[in-house]
Amino acid sequence: MKKQLVILGIIAILFTVGFSGCTDTKKELTPANIILKNVTYSPSKPVTNEEITFTITLENKGDRDDFRVITLNGTDRYTGNFTLQSGSFIIDGHSQKNVTISTAEHIINEGIQSFEIGINGNQAIRTINIDIQPGSPDIYHAVTGYIVQLNNNNTYIENTTFTVGDVVILFYLYRNVNHDGEVETYHNITIYHEGVLYYSDADEYKTSTNNETFQVNFPFDVEGSWPKGGYKIEIGIQDKITRLTSTKEIYFTVV
């Protein structure tokens, strides 16, 4: 069964207390005066790791201006607990106001996700179910560098300028490829020198895991035959389950 990500949107009320001896002739603001009129979201067909923006339309049916704070809370298996707050706003008496709040790319689970919009504490007054579609593989970090030994483990120092004889490490991180614990990807590394194809390699990766992020360490030698100048590395990943692809480009120089 797919995990359900339930996000609670909480609209908190800050009450104003009058000074002693002063009489407020306006109608007292009660929770019933603030009504949630409508909730929309965009994009209309969101995918994993894509930001979803909710537009919440509120109506103040009371006479008094009302000060509010709106938040979006939830739990995500990749990022853990998170709270996103749009900040405070004032809604005038007898008026409507649109308030926006975003998931900020925290939704990584595919399938139907439920979002609850609440008002006056945790009271859920509107539930929206959104079918999150799988997105393309996300290559969110890629660098070149030197391989070094650190505490008996291989690691790298980021660098973009090399000389003949160096061993270069291409290191990249990617996500958005886990589908109910199954990962199957095809990787293609292509290197261009001054716009001309110079080197390429490919590999496949398949595993069953709950991990959401993955890394690749791809070393290659800058041999004597490599001409000096600028190089472009094009990283290509195909998710073999969804057939979606992504590419990312980085650059280095041989001097």
- Confirm if 160 and 166 have CB atoms less than 8 A apart: no
pLDDT on residue 30: 43
Is the model's pLDDT at 42 over the cut of 50? yes
pLDDT digits over 162-173, tens only? 999 999 999 999
Q: What is the pLDDT of residues 207-235, one digit of tens each?
A: 999 898 999 999 999 988 899 999 999 99
73 shares its domain with 188: no
- 180 pLDDT more than 80: yes
Q: Is residue 5 within 8 Å of 58, Cβ to Cβ?
A: no
Domain count within the chain:
2
- Do residues 158 and 205 share a domain? yes
Residue pair 108/212 in contact (Cβ under 8 Å)? The answer is yes
- Is the same domain home to 175 and 84? no
Q: Are 140 and 96 in contact (CB under 8 A)?
A: no
Place of tokens 């290659």: 220
Model pTM score: 0.68
Contact by Cβ (8 Å): 8, 116: yes
Residue whose tokens read 């809604």: 91
Same-domain pairing of 112 and 31: yes
Amino acid code (one letter) for 142: A
